[in-house]
Amino acid sequence: MKITSSVFGHNTLVPSKYTCEGQNINPPLSIKDIPADAKSLVLIVDDPDAPTKTWTHWTVWNISPDTAEIAENSIPGGCVEGTTSFGRTGYGGPCPPSGTHRYFFKIFALNKLLNLPHGAYLANLTAAMENHIIDKDEFIGLYKKKN
């Protein structure tokens, strides 16, 4: 399985359009080579370089395994979003307080749909995913806030 974006490459800068300094919308994402036995996909976007803890920027689950693209500023139909470290659901773009941070875009193929409500937290999501991941991939975008 492979996750990529058409607007930035692995370990390259996320365009400011997709950050708190731009439109703060999700970038387009492509997902390839999804396992045939996947029942759902999970997307987690986080920043392990945040000062106090890994900062959750976006969580989406129950994405159909037929999903090859997540379009800019959208979520696939029928999926569910969780609460981020910003205290709300939906995408929150890169917005580091200082220095260059890494933003991990992680995709997981699961052997089941998850029974989690809209707004669930990352801890609930990762617990529900446990022992159900059949494949995964990630790529990293970088961002340094302009001052």
Q: Tell whether domain 2-144 is in CATH 3.40.50.720.
A: no
The average confidence (pLDDT) of the chain is: 96
pLDDT confidence band for 122 (50 / 70 / 90): very high
pTM over 0.85: yes
9-41 pLDDT, tens digit each: 999 999 999 999 999 999 999 999 999 999 999
Sheet with strand 12-13: strands edge to edge: 12-13, 133-144, 100-110, 40-47, 55-63, 80-81
Domain boundaries, the chain: 2-144
Q: Identify the pLDDT of residue 146.
A: 80
101-120 pLDDT, tens digit each: 999 999 999 999 999 999 99
